[in-house]
Amino acid sequence: MAKLYFYYASMNAGKSTNLLQADFNYRERGMRTMLFTAALDDRFAAGTITSRIGLSAAATTFDAATDIAACVLAQPNPACVLVDEAQFLNAAQVDQLARLADTHGIPVLAYGLRTDFQGRLFEGSARLLALADALIEIKSVCACGRKATMNLRVDADGRPVAEGAQTEIGGNDLYVALCRRHFVEALRT
């Protein structure tokens, strides 16, 4: 029975690296995969999933209007669907992913952030937390050595940012993965 998996973590935990490794494992066995990534994340190259350790692969981009199930079902014999930046899915798209697993027997591996820079759930993450058959946390480390679970947004001078749009695309230049204690302390200063 196929399942919907949600692999979640803070920034810089290796989510894209894990996704690309899973993709490699399927393809090494001669299986066809479909990769998706958010159209708004163009930090490296549009339509590409890129990890910080240098791995990358072409992917189909999605935005709020993308019918992911239709894209998948238009392809011959997909063995697995892998979604990067899954926090940017909307609830209807997560429902589509669940149907791909339940009705069509296609495993779906979704990778993304659980919460934003204010500690609030993203729409896609909230729906994945509600529907996924398996929730897998990928561990990251705070500077203190504890598990990092939060994403602190910082400005150009490294100062914490507490207000603003939920989505601002960036990497180490805009976000720092912290444990909850240090996240809360940083926002108090």
Active site residues: 85
Q: Which helix (H) or strand (E) holds 20?
A: helix 15-28
Query: Can you point out the beta strands (E) in the chain?
Result: 4-9, 33-38, 48-50, 56-58, 60-62, 80-83, 108-113, 134-137, 150-154, 160-161, 175-178
| Cα gap 91→129, rounded to integer Å | 11
Q: How far is CA 2 from CA 93, 103, 122, 154, 185, in A?
A: 17, 9, 25, 40, 42
How buried is 121 (Cβ within 10 angstroms: 0-12 exposed, 13-18 middle, 19+ buried)? middle
Q: Which helix (H) or strand (E) holds 180?
A: helix 180-188
Q: Beta strand pairing status for 160-161 and 33-38?
A: unpaired
| Cα gap 119→115, rounded to integer Å | 5
